[in-house]
């Protein structure tokens, strides 16, 4: 019979491992990810991972200030909170979102004269390269 402490430690270890798998989805990501997208990626590493667990872990990451939510194309997605100011590209065909690191506009010009910008939320939509090549019949 396993005692309670040992059981809790096992549980904690399992949760930590799952969190690590989820966190890894954001390490080399080109754009913010929805819970479904994270779940699809994380399930490749850890097939037993349920979407409810992903959801809970991502909420915890947001509370801890590790991830920040962004709403793009009507879907809430998440990305590392430490990312500096940038805008996003939304592919209307596959619904994927991409970070655009260099915002090519002078952001002060996004507000009327005399106003101070604290934050901006700019989404450019169109078609991503993989959808474009699919449209042309290339694979």
Residues that bind Zn ion (CB under 5 A): 79, 91, 93-94, 99, 128, 131
Q: Could you tell me the smallest distance in angstroms from the CB atom of residue 6 to Zn ion?
A: 41
User: 36 or 93, CB closer to Zn ion?
Assistant: 93
- In sequence order, what are the beta bridge partners of 91? 126
Contact 55, 99 (CB under 8 A): no
User: 51 or 131, CB closer to Zn ion?
Assistant: 131
Instruction: For residues 113 and 128, give the distance between their C-alpha atoms in angstroms, rounded to a whole number.
Output: 34
User: 39 or 87, CB closer to Zn ion?
Assistant: 87
User: 114 or 129, CB closer to Zn ion?
Assistant: 129
- Spatial neighbors of 31 by CB under 8 A, at least 6 apart, are 77, 79, 88, 89, 96, 97, 98, 99
Instruction: For residues 94 and 40, give the distance between their C-alpha atoms in angstroms, rounded to a whole number.
Output: 15
Distance of alpha carbon 75 from its chain centroid, rounded?
11
Q: Could you tell me the smallest distance in angstroms from the CB atom of residue 75 to Zn ion?
A: 13
Q: Could you tell me the smallest distance in angstroms from the CB atom of residue 59 to Zn ion?
A: 19
User: 12 or 71, CB closer to Zn ion?
Assistant: 71
Q: Could you tell me the smallest distance in angstroms from the CB atom of residue 91 to Zn ion?
A: 3
Q: Could you tell me the smallest distance in angstroms from the CB atom of residue 72 to Zn ion?
A: 9
- Spatial neighbors of 95 by CB under 8 A, at least 6 apart, are 73, 75
């Amino acid at each position: 019979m396993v005692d309670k402490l040992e059981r809790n430690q096992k549980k904690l270890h399992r949760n930590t491992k799952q969190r690590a798998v989820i966190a890894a989805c954001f390490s080399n990501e080109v754009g913010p990810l929805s819970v479904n997208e994270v779940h699809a990626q994380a399930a490749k590493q850890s097939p037993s991972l349920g979407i409810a667990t992903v959801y809970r872990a991502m909420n915890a990451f947001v509370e801890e200030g590790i991830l920040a939510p962004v709403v793009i194309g009507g879907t809430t997605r998440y990305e590392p909170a430490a990312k500096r100011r940038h805008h996003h590209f939304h592919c209307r065909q596959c619904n994927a979102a991409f970070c655009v690191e260099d915002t090519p506009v002078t952001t002060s010009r996004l507000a009327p004269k005399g106003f101070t910008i604290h934050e901006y939320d700019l989404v450019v939509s169109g078609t991503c390269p993989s959808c474009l090549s699919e449209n042309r019949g290339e694979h």
